[in-house]
Amino acid sequence: MRRRSPVRRLFSILPVGLALIAGAAHSVDELPDFGDSAGAFISPDQEYRIGRAFVRELRSKGVILDDPELEVYLQGLGSRLASQADTQGNPFDFFIVQSPVLNAFAVPGGFIGVHTGLIRETQSESELAGVLAHEISHVTQRHAARMFEAASRLSIPSAVGMLGAILLGVVSPQAGQAAMAAVAAGQQQYALNFTRANEQEADRIGIQVMARSGFNPQGMPDFFERMQTANRYNDPASVPEFLRTHPVTTNRIAESRGRADAMKPSHYEENPDFLLMRAKVIVVDTKEPRDAVNYYAESLRTGQFKNELVARYGYALALTAAGDYGKARLQTDRLLEAEPGNVHFRLASARLQVAQHAYKSALAIYDGILQDYPDYRPAVLGKVETLLAARDGRTARTVLRDYMTLYGSEPRTYQLLAEAEGMTGSKIESHIAQAEYYYGSGELGLAIEQLKVASGAPGITYYQSERVQARLDQFQKEFDEEKKDKDKF
């Protein structure tokens, strides 16, 4: 029987594993056959393709948080760390998974996900930086590729079981644990030992990256220690996922503490944006807005807060989410009175204006922000969303096209562009933009449908037809390859 290449087999496990997460009726025994160990090592480019495909699948499941303000903050923090790591010039992509699970993970190719549950649990930016530096080090040390190579030396069923469990556990901890339980006890220990070695290496390199980036290296052991202490007496089943996927022992904490103590003392200033973004995560991650309102109202009443402005910011966001606009306005006014130039307070005020349909006032705020911070993504997209709400599709389209020309695009910008094009009557361009949105979101079938509609639309120009056909050929090829892999399993 002709064997597929190792990389091809690695790609095939992605749709299979994520189909399991979505509820497909596959078992661990039905995961792909990796074959023998020959040629199991994969290149950085192949790792990137695997990681990109994985993140697109995550987007298609709707678990990645779409919040430009939080995304820009996390990307900035991560990029600051990555600039001090041995990345060999390869870019990193940091994203947020909306889940109360306390976890973070690195995907091959430089993709790093952080759960909202973990952001809520961190108490300082250095603690969050410690987690990101640890995950960055997993990528720079190519632990995923080494894991694939090591797994290929196990028996075939055990290698498949281990890889499948790790992939499943990224998004569905219970599914991942169930899959790992199917691997034989001795082989589980092999995988565990291999993972622990990776964890130690990521700690050692990550703490150096933290120090070079200007963060307090004590943040890493502080976070580990607090996680272990808080859950020492808990039922094992309730231990946070971070401790399951990143086992923390007393020795490991002591080692990281020792490394931090040995580093040259320095003065560290915490970025005030961290506490503000953490407050926003708390509001976004709370299912019932009224619960967040009560939480911050009680904090302000009792004085149980680290920073009054942060508590008042969280209160303003929660009140806006709950539709209590009058009280929210009182809070945003107090915030802006205290710090009129704070971009997060200004954004909160603009979003409140939009919620009240005061579009002219909101646009004035966004324009003011963009004067101070040209092309700041949260303000650009906020302005576009406001223009669309005000039914000014033409201006929204112009703003988006100018921005995308300079800074590229991602699913959200294409989604807004599709709406703007449709609002101006450009139905063909709307279908093309919608196709790109679906493609970036991991919905290849829907992307193909949109392009087919565009290709058959009356009035399509030669240039548009050529663009559509080129993308349709590419999307159809990828769709056929994915379907072929899924059909084999």
User: Last residue of some domain: 262, 293, 310?
Assistant: 262
Cβ–Cβ under 8 Å, residues 98 and 285: yes
Examine residue 269 and state whether it is found in any structural domain, yes or no.
no
pLDDT tens readout for residues 35-75: 333 334 567 777 777 778 778 888 888 889 999 999 999 99
Q: Are residues 298 and 195 in the same domain?
A: no
Average pLDDT, integer, range 461-487: 87
Which DSSP state fits 37? S
Identity of the highest mean pLDDT range in 44-48, 86-90, 159-163, 432-436 = 432-436
Q: How confident is the model at residue 365, as a pLDDT?
A: 98
Nearest to 277 by CA among 370, 203, 342: 342
What whole-number distance in Å separates Cα of residue 429 and Cα of residue 468? 10
The CATH number of the domain where 391 resides is what? 1.25.40.10
In 109-238, DSSP assigns E strands to 111-115
Examine residue 274 and state whether it is found in any structural domain, yes or no.
no
Q: Are residues 239 and 295 in the same domain?
A: no
Q: Are residues 364 and 258 in the same domain?
A: no
Q: Active site includes 135?
A: yes
Q: Which of 121, 127, 203, 385 is catalytic?
A: 203
Question: What percentage of the chain has pLDDT greater than the value 70?
Answer: 75
In 159-220, DSSP assigns E strands to none
Q: Are residues 54 and 194 in the same domain?
A: yes
Examine residue 1 and state whether it is found in any structural domain, yes or no.
no
Q: How confident is the model at residue 109, as a pLDDT?
A: 83
Q: Which domain holds residue 405?
A: 279-487
Q: Are residues 316 and 223 in the same domain?
A: no
What count of residues does the chain have?
489
Tokens linked to 189: 């220990």
What whole-number distance in Å separates Cα of residue 269 and Cα of residue 278? 17
Q: Which of 57, 135, 241, 436 is catalytic?
A: 135
Examine residue 270 and state whether it is found in any structural domain, yes or no.
no
For the cut 80, the answer to whether the pLDDT of residue 223 exceeds it is yes
Q: Are residues 196 and 332 in the same domain?
A: no
Nearest to 389 by CA among 364, 431, 353, 365: 353
Cβ–Cβ under 8 Å, residues 84 and 222: no
Ranking 205-209, 263-267, 455-459 by mean pLDDT, the lowest is 263-267
Q: Are residues 251 and 296 in the same domain?
A: no
pTM, two decimal places: 0.83
For the cut 50, the answer to whether the pLDDT of residue 184 exceeds it is no
User: Last residue of some domain: 205, 233, 262?
Assistant: 262
Average pLDDT, integer, range 218-246: 66
Q: Active site includes 203?
A: yes
Give 416's pLDDT tier (boundaries 50, 70, 90): very high
Identity of the highest mean pLDDT range in 29-33, 380-384, 441-445 = 380-384
Q: Are residues 254 and 148 in the same domain?
A: yes
Q: How confident is the model at residue 139, as a pLDDT?
A: 85
Q: Are residues 190 and 141 in the same domain?
A: yes
Q: How confident is the model at residue 145, as a pLDDT?
A: 63
Examine residue 271 and state whether it is found in any structural domain, yes or no.
no
Q: Are residues 291 and 427 in the same domain?
A: yes
Q: Are residues 288 and 203 in the same domain?
A: no
The one-letter amino acid at 70: L
Examine residue 268 and state whether it is found in any structural domain, yes or no.
no
Q: Are residues 192 and 138 in the same domain?
A: yes
Question: What percentage of the chain has pLDDT greater than the value 90?
Answer: 55
Q: Three-class SS string for 162-176?
A: HHHHHHHHHHCHHHH
pLDDT tens readout for residues 313-324: 999 999 999 999
According to DSSP, the β-strands at 111-115 and 93-97 are parallel
Element of type H or E holding 94: strand 93-97
For the chain, what is the domain count? Answer: 2
Collapsing DSSP to helix, strand or coil, 103 comes out as coil
For the cut 60, the answer to whether the pLDDT of residue 174 exceeds it is no
Nearest to 104 by CA among 237, 202, 213, 225: 202
User: Last residue of some domain: 208, 228, 262?
Assistant: 262
